[in-house]
Amino acid sequence: MARLNGKVAVVTGGANGLGAAIAARLAEEGAAVAILDRDERGQDVAEKLTANGAKAIFRSVDVTSEDRVSSSLASVVEELGSITVLVNNAGIEGVNKPTDQLDLADWEKVMAVNSTAVFLCTKHVIPHMRAAGHGSIVNISSIYGILGGADIPPYHASKGAVRAMSKNDALTYAPENIRVNSVHPGFIFTDMVHRYASEAGLSEADARGALDPAHPLGGTGDPDDIAWGVVYLASDQAKWVTGSELVIDGGYTA
């Protein structure tokens, strides 16, 4: 199927993990894809997609820099055409400490990537979507944008902010046919989760032993479980879907 033919999609954090899977599935469905990441491995991901017949480019961008976000989106439009899909996926986990032991700098670092960058990318993509006459913005939050959890306060706060921001933007831009939805993944063993487990002093086997039973469908997820949800929200099949929260978590939050 090619549900995204003619669309130009930007994926932040597309060099690795969920973002790389999202970029691959969007490309497979016919979108031209631009990967924005500070990790140069984004170039390899783009080259692989191109070798498979897709149109894909990489821009080396720290998404917390407003100047870089704005200029790189403009350069994507120049090379690929009007942007009609934005996936705000770049994220970091931050340090695992309770609020009373957390430094302000650690708080601000997480909020900058997980929340402020979503604001910046959305702010600067809207004019391009407006020019195209439509758009779909998919914000990757987390089950922790919905649930509580102990000891990673900025992660929870930043992902809750993404959920609320998505609803605000959904209402603001609905009259312009720009849809905004959030996606809430459960645990998937990417580099982020490996770092999170090792910071908590857990081996992968111990982390899986703790996490697998928490997902009623059995075990943690695959990056593609999230990517297919993003494809749906990006596609015209979701033309009547905005302000929604797509939870993809093997039943964790049920």
- Give 103's strand partners: none
Asked if residue 126 binds ligand NAI (CB under 6 A), the reply is: no
Question: Mask: binding to ligand NAI, 159-188, rule CB under 6 A, as x and -?
Answer: --------------------------x-xx
Residue from 28, 29, 37, 225 binding ligand NAI (CB under 6 A): 37
Identify whether 144 is a catalytic site residue. no
CB of 250: closest distance to ligand NAI in angstroms? 11
Which residues between 64 and 83 bind ligand NAI (CB under 6 A)? 64
Point out which span in 84-92, 146-154, 164-172, 229-237 binds ligand NAI (CB under 6 A).
84-92
Residue from 122, 136, 142, 182 binding ligand NAI (CB under 6 A): 142
Asked if residue 91 binds ligand NAI (CB under 6 A), the reply is: yes
* Residue tagged active-site, from 155, 173, 196, 252: 155
Residue from 122, 182, 190, 235 binding ligand NAI (CB under 6 A): 190
CB of 12: closest distance to ligand NAI in angstroms? 6
- List residues with catalytic annotation: 155
Contact residues for ligand NAI (CB under 6 A)? 13, 15-19, 37-39, 61-64, 89-92, 113, 140, 142, 185, 187-188, 190-193
